[in-house]
Structure 1
């Protein structure tokens, strides 16, 4: 065969191969585009909103696992600062485009969201049985389970157990023993309790300060019904105790101007023995100082024979489904996933939180050493969350801040009571 003919045939072959390859490539691209379009049509974008920025990395890992198990559901998590979430969450949820799964605090926020009709009834969902029965009541209203409390938080001061051991200090069981303990700490140039008044304020400390001064667990219900008054002994005594702490150096100087980050650093540096917040700060304290040994030490403001309550607990970070959501079934799958003991254990150990899910296994020393507070201690549900009117809550907390600012307990109580009376039926 002529050389030119061989070359011509080879050239035609190359053209045919190129055409086939191009056609094959186009067909494959078309198939890929069709698959992507099909996948996009079948994928549900689920919105999950909450306020716990410190849980971001743990939740991201859990969400990845959920999406792997549920490839047709993508979870978009949005985290808002706590104060912003408290004031704006209700508005975010109204049109159903945000917060298919959302979280709620007990108390005034739960009440406001309930009144706005934002909760989906979860009463008959199977995952409800995965939570400890005693914790569920705070998310119930009108005979329905509207939200599921996920965390069991202890809202009372966290203390440096190692420091107490070095100084030979015992955990006080009465007001006189508490004073002796505080005096010993101050003699060693240690602040007994650092109080983050600039951002957290008295939100947490008020609960354990009043737990044995006002033993009636319906005290705030009676306050809002007009049966009780902040000018009565139970609250004036509590304000007097705050004044005593402040004037005798149990709190640091400029308590109202100290933020939580600075307060935690003072405990981590062992400048202070306790922080007046709660269990949710234990993991961060350990990150700041891995050598810390931590426990709970609420203020005991009465003598030993008068002690009824040993501490404060709250079932909080309540998981809920937006009643305006069009993705309720996918939202239920996500909450069910979070309630699996293995996933709940991952969240608990990753964030340093006690949970309400049954069969959670705690790995960290702090969680193991404090888990007995759930079963062995007589703790009281956080009183502040039993206030249902926001204006009443602000008046109660404001009276404490006024006392720390220099007002007399009697005057602060009187001013707060006037606000209460203006805002109750």
Structure 2
């Protein structure tokens, strides 16, 4: 009996030791527990493609701050949008976290999960006019790190070969697409299964509804998706599809599939944004890329040249017991030297002052910082159901639904949410 008890105790102790070793990874000390001198902060986000450069930066941060360890967890973007608030609630996850602007920012803010960063010295590392998406009632609750242009990426070499330049009106854009089609290329790779509707809608509607308060008006009932601005936008989506300017089965194409069509130079444009350029270049290092936005009105009526978003908004969890350590990590990431490593490794423009861009694409697309661009309208929709009704109506017209009918069905959802 004593022998049996001894074996059982040994097995129990061994099991507890194994549990202690497996739960921490780099976030714990060698004993499997956090020491008084060393604290572990949790960093959560959705940018899986940035994992390697973040690991490099985290290693540098830990070397410079040996009293702090960083445990990074990356979630799929769709899952992150729906679960981030839950992850943050108990304070055990996301001491530092990234948030999307718009509806997710509003949800997390209403839950009181943002620590106020107003007055922190590292806020000055960011361009003042590019961090407004992280503000609420004059408080800086989050700091957008990425400056993204949410408009089509195009193959510069292919355009030059065919003597094409980005057009400045809708008729010119249709003519451009026709030329590409006649020469055997898919004019626009459209990732209709995931990001396409939500990305392409921004530049397609920016001049059809130049009023920057149009989304606020939509959500309070002063504007409708059945109004001319949205019906016209849907009709133009349908026109692109009906004329064969989108690839076959565009609604079944993921972003990875659309990016591959660009990398293989089968498509001349991809309806995504500047964030797609690094992935395309990774598959085809020789391809030269830049950005354009379709102008859906006559040139004389165009107000905006493109779309920008300030996103990947860094916040500190208000329920965290390690807020000072979390702030140190954000300060580190916003240092121009470290931010430059992140920018050039990921192919991203940033909101940080003093970043040096070394890649050809980033230098070429830096001209968009001087253009008259509009903040992404889709991210201004605070209600997820309303946002989904708008993007769903785009998928509907590409699938064959009449634009007015698709707009009417979408507006019913808007009305339900307003009521």
Note the alpha carbon deviations across 1:32-63, whole angstroms, 9 max, x for none: xxx97998331101000000000000000000
- Secondary structure of the corresponding residue to residue 156 of structure 1: coil
- Secondary structure of the corresponding residue to residue 267 of structure 1: helix
Q: Would the alpha carbon gap of residues 56 and 37 (structure 1) be closer, same or farther in structure 2, given more than 3 Å must change?
A: closer
Q: Would the alpha carbon gap of residues 147 and 37 (structure 1) be closer, same or farther in structure 2, given more than 3 Å must change?
A: closer
Deviation at residue 198 of structure 1 after TM alignment: 1.3
Map of 2:205 onto structure 1: 210
- Secondary structure of the corresponding residue to residue 78 of structure 1: strand
Q: Would the alpha carbon gap of residues 189 and 319 (structure 1) be closer, same or farther in structure 2, given more than 3 Å must change?
A: same
> What CA distance in whole angstroms lies between the structure 1 residues aligned with 2:138 and 2:179?
51
Correspondence for 2:398 among 391, 401, 404: 404
> What CA distance in whole angstroms lies between the structure 2 residues aligned with 1:300 and 1:108?
27
Correspondence for 1:422 among 406, 416, 419: 416
> What CA distance in whole angstroms lies between the structure 2 residues aligned with 1:36 and 1:399?
55
Map of 1:141 onto structure 2: 136
Runs of 4+ in 1 over 6 A off after TM superposition: 35-39
Mark the runs of 5 or more structure 2 residues left unpaired by the alignment: 1-29
In the alignment, structure 1 residue 253 sits paired with structure 2 residue 262: no
Deviation at residue 202 of structure 1 after TM alignment: 0.5
Deviation at residue 250 of structure 1 after TM alignment: 1.2
How many residues are matched? 390
Correspondence for 1:185 among 166, 169, 180: 180
- Structural mapping, 1:88-237, within 5 Å: 88-237=83-232
Mark the runs of 5 or more structure 1 residues left unpaired by the alignment: 1-34
- Secondary structure of the corresponding residue to residue 93 of structure 2: coil
Deviation at residue 385 of structure 1 after TM alignment: 0.8
Larger Cα Rg: Structure 1 or Structure 2?
A: 1
> What CA distance in whole angstroms lies between the structure 2 residues aligned with 1:391 and 1:258?
23
Q: Would the alpha carbon gap of residues 392 and 40 (structure 1) be closer, same or farther in structure 2, given more than 3 Å must change?
A: same
Map of 2:361 onto structure 1: 366
Map of 2:23 onto structure 1: none
Deviation at residue 404 of structure 1 after TM alignment: 1.1
Correspondence for 1:349 among 329, 333, 344: 344
Map of 1:5 onto structure 2: none
Deviation at residue 301 of structure 1 after TM alignment: 1.1
> What CA distance in whole angstroms lies between the structure 1 residues aligned with 2:314 and 2:392?
29
Note the alpha carbon deviations across 1:329-369, whole angstroms, 9 max, x for none: 00000000001000000000000000000000000000001
Note the alpha carbon deviations across 1:153-177, whole angstroms, 9 max, x for none: 0000000000000111121111111
> What CA distance in whole angstroms lies between the structure 2 residues aligned with 1:206 and 1:325?
37
What TM-score comes out, normalization by structure 2 length?
Answer: 0.91
Map of 2:10 onto structure 1: none
Map of 1:268 onto structure 2: 263
- Secondary structure of the corresponding residue to residue 423 of structure 1: helix
> What CA distance in whole angstroms lies between the structure 2 residues aligned with 1:37 and 1:302?
62
- Secondary structure of the corresponding residue to residue 159 of structure 1: strand
